[in-house]
Every structure is written in C-alpha cells, then in structure tokens.
Structure 1
Amino acid sequence: MIRPLLQVTAAVGALALIPVTTGAMASVDTSSYRELDAFMDVYTRVKADYVEKVDDATLIKGAIDGMLASLDPHSSYVDALAFDNMRLQTDGNYGGLGLSVTMEDGAVKVITPTEDTPAWRAGIKAGDYITHIDGKLIYGGTLDEAVSQMRGAPGSKIKLRIVRAGREKPLELELTRETIVQKAVKWEVQDGIGILNINTFSASTASDMRAGIAAIEKQLGGKPKGYVIDLRGNGGGLLDQAIEVSDAFLSHGEIVSQRGRDKSDIERWYAKADDLARGLPLVVLVDAGTASASEIVAGALQDHHRALVLGEKSFGKGSVQTLLQLGPRTALRLTTARYYTPSGRSVQEGGIEPDLPVPQISDPDYKSRPVFREADLRRHLINETKVDNAVIEEDTKTDPRFAATAEELEKKGIKDFQLHYALQTIGRIGAPARMAGGGTAKAGTR
C-alpha cells in the first residue's frame, strides 16, 4: 500500500516515519529510447575518456540525482545511506542535534531547530547556513552526508561553523549530541486554556493529540475555555495523520482533496467523527515553518470557520510525495499529486494566510531574520490557481499592538508573544462562546 508523505526536509536527530512500497516501471515510448541512446553515448564516453577512473555506481547515482533534480525540490532518490537514516528516524534512539535542514546551492541551510534540543539551546535559527563540521568544509556534499556527520553517540561533542545573514563573522559553536526523542504532541494548560503543541505528523500524532485533550480536561476537572493548536515549525509528515487531526475538530464536511496528473485522478477525504473539542474556541498558530501536512490542518479548520488562524504566513508546500521502494535499501521519493483545502484553494507557493497576522515580536531579531518558504526553492511547483493580489493596497502603517520590543515583553514575563496573543484571543471569546461555524460548516457531502 502506498502511504502518501507530506514533509519538507531532512531532520538531524528527529525524522518522520516514512513507509515504503513497491513501485512499477513506467512505460517507455520510442522517443524515450532515442533520448536514452544519447545518455548511453555520454556514459560510455565518460567511462572511456575521463581523466580518472569512475565506477558505475557513482555515474548512475549522479544520473539519477540529476534526473530528479530537474523535477521539483521534493523528488529525490533514497540511496542506502538515506534509507538507513529513515530507519534511524523510525527507531528514535540515536544521538543528534535537533535540526531540520535542507540543501540550497550546495550549502546546508537550517529550516528550523526543534524546541529543547542542543541546536535550539545553542541559538541556531532558521535561515542559518552550516558551512563546517568539526573544522571540515561540507559545501558541495550531499544532504545525507551532512546529516550523518551531525548524528553521533549521545554525549559526544561536535563543532559547527554557522553563517548568518546580517552578521559579519561566522558563529563557532560546540554542541553536545543528545538522544533526540521528538514527542509528536506536547500539551499544557495556561489560564484555563488547553495548548496542543503538534511537532510532527508521525504515526502516533492523532492518538497522542486525543490523549492530550483527555489529559487537559482531567487536569482542569472539566472543559477548558478553548484550545490553542500550535503548528509553528511543524514541517509535516503523514497525510492520514493530518486528516485524522483535522477530523477531530470537524463534525462533517471535506477536509482535503488530492489531485494527480490526470483530471480524473482526484481523491477526497471527509470528516466522520464528532468535534472532539465540542465547539469550544480554537486558535491555530502558524509561521513560516508550518508546512505541508500542517497546512492541511490549518487550511481545513480555517475554511470551515472552525478555528482562527493566527501568526505568520505558512511555508506554502501544497504537494504530496509518495515513497516507492526500488530495492532492499533504495527507494524513490516522487511528487505524485497536489492537495487542495475544502474551498478548493492550493497552498502551493502562497501558503496559509493567517486570519490574524501576528509577528513574533518577542524574538529580538524577528525583523532582520531571513524567512525561507517554498516559493524560495528552485524549480518549485507553480500554483496555477494563484490569485493576483497586486491590486490590493498594502497597509504600511505600524500596528500599535505590535510596537513593544522584545526587552519590554521580557520584563512583563512574555517569552512567546504569538502564544500570549492566542491565549488572550481565546480569553476574550469566553468559554460559553463558539467560533464562527462551530464545526458545522459544509464543504461537500459525505
């Protein structure tokens, strides 16, 4: 069975579960054979005349990587090294730093550090470039090679050189690896409000979230005033888990649709269960690190008017990848479809626009820190249904609600302004009130 995957990056120390399946060879027509003849001509010339001997495995791997690199940023060949990395992520018992990274023009770029990990505590930020590991330049290598070097035995030390935009000198950091156990869902209660921090969409996410809701109600001895669903920095994961999480807060209606190459290749998923939050107010927190499966949840709850989406525009990855196993330790990660929210919009390139744009002003460098999204990736898929908002006049006035500095907020004990604002928003709505729609909005039939 093919299980779709919705994920942005490779993670150092915490990877999402990726199931595999057997793939089938696509049919090759006559014109394709002519192109393959040209490939074989180049292959034989290189084998015969290159200045140094090159083994077949190196040439074939390079050809495969080049072929997939011509498609989109999320299609790739999973060789034995990457396959072993996926097995490590499934086990969850290994040393790492807690980083989600990607490769950009031969350089390793940080997408986001995971909360309460060595990378997070060292102050590594989204947009940073890792140029050296233990004094050795890693530019030009593969992402899997860099990930493997950053992993290691818990307790072992590693030195990183970090280049950050706007900073003249690179940062020299020494970190100690830890066993990274990324809990899919963390929960807490503040001011009578339940907070569900969903970090990834792994196989246990939906069940962990339901357990979190039960634990919140048990701690309070009843219903909370509402829930904050924190999807910030969540790079995605499994499609079925995103659907199940969305379903938990919707009583009926479409959750998401998936459309492949052919017009007839459409799948739709609908809510089946009752609203687990029983109509209580919901606020969904998003930022530039909210991607793919996370955007499905935010988009579904936003389209049904079941939740207020608060924060910053999300990453904008609206494509689905399927992992096709080719051999015992090799696979093909291939983009096979695009997904659409219940209203029929694609988040590809554009992302989810929050209902309430709220910057993270508790971060001292939030204005200068570079933001990295799908639209910044080379060869990203184009959103063919994108709406042109160029005619809309931009409001350049400073919002007085967000004029405080990070230092002023810290004096007030506010370390996370977006979360603080979300809690205040639910507090203003009040426990008896329901968000608009209350999980009853319709989008299609079951």
Structure 2
Amino acid sequence: MNSNAALNDYQGLVRALSDRIVEAQTPIRILDAVKWDDSVRQGFFAARGIQPPAVDRAYYESRPLGFDPSAKKQEFQAIERDVTRQLGQFSPVGQIMRRMCKEYRMVIRMLEARGTADFGLISQDLYGAATDAFHAGDPTLSDLGLMLSDYLNNIDLRGDLQDEPKNLDAKQAVQLLQARLDRVFGEGEGAIRVFESDGIVADAAAGADYIKIRSDALFNERDVRALEVHEGLVHVGTTLNGLNQPICTFLSKGPPSSTVTQEGLAILMEVIAFASYPTRLRKLTNRTRAIHMAEDGADFLEVYRFFREQGYREDESYSNASRVFRGSLPSGLPFTKDLSYLKGFIMVYNYIQLAVRKGKLEQIPLLFCGKTTLEDMRTLRQLVDEGLVVPPRYLPPQFQDLNALSAWMCFSNFLNHLSLDRVEADYANIL
C-alpha cells in the first residue's frame, strides 16, 4: 500500500479520514456479537428439541461487545463531522464516507439492542426485509424464494441430479482449496491461507487474507469449487483490492450495505462459473423463506421444524434456524443478513444488465475494487478518474473478459422481454 508521503495534500486528507473509519470499525464484529455459543445448542438438544433455546436479553448482556458503544458512536459522529468540515458537504468521496459513518452507528445501535424487538427492526433497515420489493410492482424476496422452491421441486422429481457424495473431510478440503487459490493469488509470502477452524457456524468463512473451513464439515469437489469462487475470488479478492487502495482505504472494509453487493457478486459468480447447483440454491431459498416465516411471527421451533421438513438433519436444522434468530430472541424478529444472497444477486445482475444496455462496460469491474455498494458505483467511476481509487488488481476471469460477459447480457436483455408463459404454451407439444 502506498504511503501518505507520496500523496498530495488533498489525497492525504482523504486518506487520513479514510484510515480513521477503518480504525474505528476494527472492534465491531457483527457475527461474533450475535451468534449463540455451543452451550445453547447443547441445551436445546438436551431438552430433546421441544423447548426454545435458552436465549434472552440477559444472555446477550453477559456477552459484552468488546467496545464502549456510546464512545464508538461518538467517534463515528466526530469522523462524519470532520469529513464535512474538511472536504465539504458535496464532496463525492465525502458523501461515501459520511454514509459509512451513519451506517456503522446504526450497526452499533443494532448490537446494543440484542435480545429486544429493536434488534430485528434495525436489522431490516440495514439488510432489508423478505417482503421488500425490488421495484414497484415487482415480486418480493419472499416471492422469489417460493418461485425458486417450485422450480427446485420440479428438478428434484427427476431423481438423477443427486449431489456427489461428500467424501472430503475438512483437512482434504483445505488442501484442495489451497491449491486452487494458489493458482489464482500465488504462493509464498502474502498468499491466501486456508485452514481449519472450530469457531464458525457456516461451512466456511473468509477473512482479509484467509479462508476458514469448519473442522467437522464434509465436502465434495463441487463444494470446494463453489468455495473457491464465492469465498476466494469474490470475498478475499475484493478485500485484497480494497487493501490495495492507496487513498480510499475504507474500501477494504464493508458495512452492511456492501454485504448485499458482496454476496450478490458471490452468488452471480457461482452461477456464471457453473459452480452452483440445486442443493446450494435450495439452501439460499430456504434461508429466505425462514426469515419470511419469522417476520410473519413464526418462532424458533416452527422454523426448526420447517428445516426438518425440508430434509435437513437435526444439527443442520438447528444451525439454519439459529442463523435466523441470532442476535434476537427465539420468538423475536429475525436477523435478516441472509437475505443478502438472493437480494444482492438480483440487484447486481440488474446493474450489470443495465451497464451493458447503456454501453458503460467500464463500470462493471469496479464492483471488485473493494467492499463496494451499488449506490456508490457512479461515484467510484468518478473517483477512479480523479486518481483517488485504483482499479481492481484481482478480477475473476469472467469479469476480465467483458466481451463474453457483455454478449451474454445482450442476449439476457432480449430474453427478459419474452413472456415465458406464452413460450411454455407454444412449446407444449415439443417439451
């Protein structure tokens, strides 16, 4: 990363303010703050799964955040005030930084509200709700989840698209994924590290320069390919691109609004790299449906039973249901972060389609220049032109080749104008 000494006065000012945001957000760990520890799971199964998990407001109060919420909110308020004072009200880069400060303050308020009704309400403000429409008159996220479930059920009826056996343990998955990522990011010092971990809920989780694999999880080669694309090429790649920013260092860290873009990019990459598969997609749709159930008043036990009915094992059903209610209460509003996958996919896909339609292909790779947010994309293009943001160093192959991507999107734009119901009726005699 370039040093401040190489920057002019204005660039140095932006860099200093940006670094303050990065420093201020360092102790904020949303998922660590909301997750339930293993004693909750053990208690749930000790009661034979017929009583809600023993989580209340006092449970969260016994798990401090690791920082002073009031002082941290004041810190972000001071940064926001200095951004305006030093860069002006209408500075494009200043507008991004002020929005990030506001968003981090909202995150802190959400974490302060763990175990209360406000937690779920603030979560909806940050990540959205299942009943949100993409545009006026369009289907909602919950509609999308049900629609995809119907398609997946039709596929399941075939019986010949079974998943490959999960015959790779965590150690084998680590070795295979490490080899794949070494080919992309290089080996030796500065390479991406892949290692086992006991402390995560998901099968895998990405950090700044590493990917953790849950030590008791099982995988097949298709799973590893999906992890390479999702966690490696997108999550780690965009982090490294953000860390490579000499001035706008805030792009190395992402508030919740960037989570939607990040997860949308990751799912889109899985699709266009042919790394996704029906079971993976069903996991995403079931999460969306479960969040919608909780928004409609379903409690933990009802959501747990929903996952059992979908064919998940008891431990998987508990893990999935706890994702919905973490940070909240077993009968409270859900934590809606898991809507980011499908919501982000639709929003990013639409953005790329429109960029192709309008001939603004140069906008597309900028999605990878760090932890970006869709609403900032026009501003980021301006910041690249001004020399405040550098283009991404690491780009997935599918986004390096804008010829192929734009050709696909041109066809996609046309196909969107066809009525699939009408096509289905016309094709009835040949399908």
Same fold (TM over 0.5): no
What range describes the TM-score normalised by the shorter chain of this pair? Answer: under 0.3
More helix by percentage? 2
Alignment TM-score, normalising by the size of structure 1: 0.23
More strand by percentage? 1
Alignment TM-score, normalising by the size of structure 2: 0.23
